[in-house]
């Protein structure tokens, strides 16, 4: 039974901070700390308390005057908000190095996602199991999405195969794609795309490193 | 010999788009297409041509009136801007599933980064090689960073070990950290941190999916 929550539009930067708040709060709970003030959270994240109050305000009215927040209540609220206390099943396309690592990554269960099958076109991989997850032929992908009502597809194929993987996922009826290939996927407007390309991170890292090296050289 | 480039401050969203432009341009070059107009790039990325012109403007004055851009010139300019035509050596801390996948990920060479050693505290892993990359004891990390002048550290340890891994990297003299652990790392201000946590991506994906599911339920 799915409850209909109120839909609140939340700014993406806030959404991206919630998992970090959650980890911090769980750490507090593990140390037996059951109450936390906005100021303490603000100090931990080097943010303004106003920002923290605003971010957590999206979860509902949870703060108490003077006390701040009850840690277990806040943990529960973030997990519910992110739907991490339910499990969403996902298919992964591409059982190469990255795909295999993701299948083996036990932390995903904490984040409400479970990879239930992998798909590849390499005949040597088809039929094997990686930690109980079967690797199936890519030819079965579309049909299985339909039959199993899977909503999330993860793309870990090389760049040149990424668009065709996305097309198959969408043909099957997937609603959200988590894309690791360094490609600008073309998808219908109602498909959720979350890009998590290593290339993007490395562009930022590499350029910033170059800039500080240049600054240091100029100081010489 | 390192050339001192002019340091231009570039907005991070632009920086994050450059690898996608690069992939698109390389694809054109592979198909023998040597010139591209701003409009064509804009259509590919569903962006306004003004935005494309602005983004590529950070690379210097490369566009020609009427012709647009020469594809090989633009490829070279982006790679130089990102320093991807030089190789930056990196250490990785944490040789678990994710760490091993990253060591095996051959695409990194395209992005100017080379993982030259992995560090772990698991005695069963210490001494093995993953694709020619040795797994060494974490106790050697700080000393080796100093001796080898390594500037980039990648953190793929579990959340609870991430801060201590960061501390060791910084003690050794690392300048930039690529962090995969779902933790808000505390580092001095001059250290570059690029967060690439799966938890963050999954927060966005999961919440958006929940929202569209709610919308669909409400329509019933």
CA distance A155 to A91: 9
* Residues from chain B contacting residue A205 (CB–CB below 8 Å): 152, 176, 178, 192, 194
Q: Which residue, among B203, B211, B213, would best test binding to A if mutated, counting the most A CBs under 10 Å from its CB?
A: B203
CA of A186, closest CA in chain B: separation in Å? 9
220 residues of chain B, pLDDT tens digit each: 333 344 457 888 899 899 999 999 999 999 999 999 999 999 999 889 999 999 999 998 777 877 789 999 999 999 999 989 889 999 999 998 889 888 988 788 888 899 999 999 999 999 999 989 999 999 999 999 999 999 999 999 988 999 999 999 999 999 999 999 988 899 999 999 999 888 888 999 999 998 887 766 665 5
Q: Is A4 on the interface with B (CB under 8 A)?
A: yes
CA distance B53 to B69: 10
CA distance A161 to A167: 10
Task: Report the predicted TM-score, pTM, of the whole model to 2 decimal places.
Answer: 0.84
Q: Which secondary structure element, helix H or strand E, spans residue A114, and what is its range?
A: strand A113-120
CA distance A161 to A176: 18
Q: Are strands A129-130 and A133-137 parallel, antiparallel or unpaired?
A: antiparallel
* Residues from chain B contacting residue A23 (CB–CB below 8 Å): 159, 182-184, 199
**Interface confidence: ipTM more than 0.85:** no
CA distance B161 to A121: 37
């Amino acid at each position: 039974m799915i409850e209909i929550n109120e839909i609140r539009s939340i700014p993406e930067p806030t959404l991206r901070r919630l998992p970090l708040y959650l980890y911090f709060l769980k750490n507090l709970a593990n140390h037996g700390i059951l109450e936390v003030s906005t100021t303490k959270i603000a100090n931990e994240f080097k943010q303004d308390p106003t920002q923290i109050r605003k971010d957590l305000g999206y979860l509902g009215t949870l703060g108490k005057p003077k006390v701040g927040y009850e840690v277990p209540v806040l943990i529960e609220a973030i997990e519910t908000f992110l739907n991490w206390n339910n499990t969403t099943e996902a298919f992964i396309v591409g059982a190469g190095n990255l795909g295999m690592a993701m299948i083996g990554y036990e932390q995903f269960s904490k984040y409400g996602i479970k990879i239930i099958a992998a798909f590849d076109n390499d005949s040597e991989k088809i039929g094997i199991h990686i930690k109980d997850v079967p690797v199936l032929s890519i030819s079965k992908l579309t049909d299985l999405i339909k039959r199993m009502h899977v909503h999330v597809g993860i793309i870990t194929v090389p760049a040149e195969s990424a668009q065709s993987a996305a097309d198959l996922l969408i043909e099957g009826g997937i609603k959200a794609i988590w894309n690791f290939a360094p490609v600008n996927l073309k998808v219908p407007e109602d498909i959720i795309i979350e890009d998590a390309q290593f290339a993007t991170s490395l562009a930022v890292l590499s350029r910033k490193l170059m800039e500080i090296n240049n600054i240091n050289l100029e100081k010489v």
